[in-house]
Amino acid sequence: MGTKLLHELAKTIRSKNAGTDKITFDIIFKEKEKYELVRQSGVITKESISVLYQVPEEKITDFVHYDPANAIKFTILRDRPSGDPGDGDIFGSQQYPPLLTIEIPTAE
């Protein structure tokens, strides 16, 4: 049994604003098989995202497996509103990198 990094399996991994007080994340797969592999691995959960982003689970307002799009989507409340003094990422577009190196177990 081996592992693959999430970025090796997913077509798109991104983050972006979801209003002024939230950042939403999308992990999208081109192939249904890769999506199902990641989903069934149980590695990406609300709990694991909480640990990865060092936020309480209550700050994760949504966590969805969206089968029609082969996607895993979640939203995290921001510590401060977008554009607030001290906000280092106004568009929320630079928050996805911790997801890239999540290890997913494979049969290989």
Is the pTM for the entire model greater than 0.85? yes
DSSP line for 74-93: EEEE-SS-TTSTT-S-TTST
* Token pair for 35: 């999506």
Give the side-chain half-sphere CA count within 13 A for 103. Answer: 5
* Token pair for 36: 């199902």
Tens of pLDDT, residue by residue over 18-75, are: 989 999 999 999 999 999 999 999 999 999 999 999 999 999 999 999 999 999 999 9
pLDDT of residue 1: 81
For residues 18 and 48, give the distance between their C-alpha atoms in angstroms, rounded to a whole number: 21
For residues 97 and 32, give the distance between their C-alpha atoms in angstroms, rounded to a whole number: 23
Cβ atoms of 57 and 46 closer than 8 Å: yes
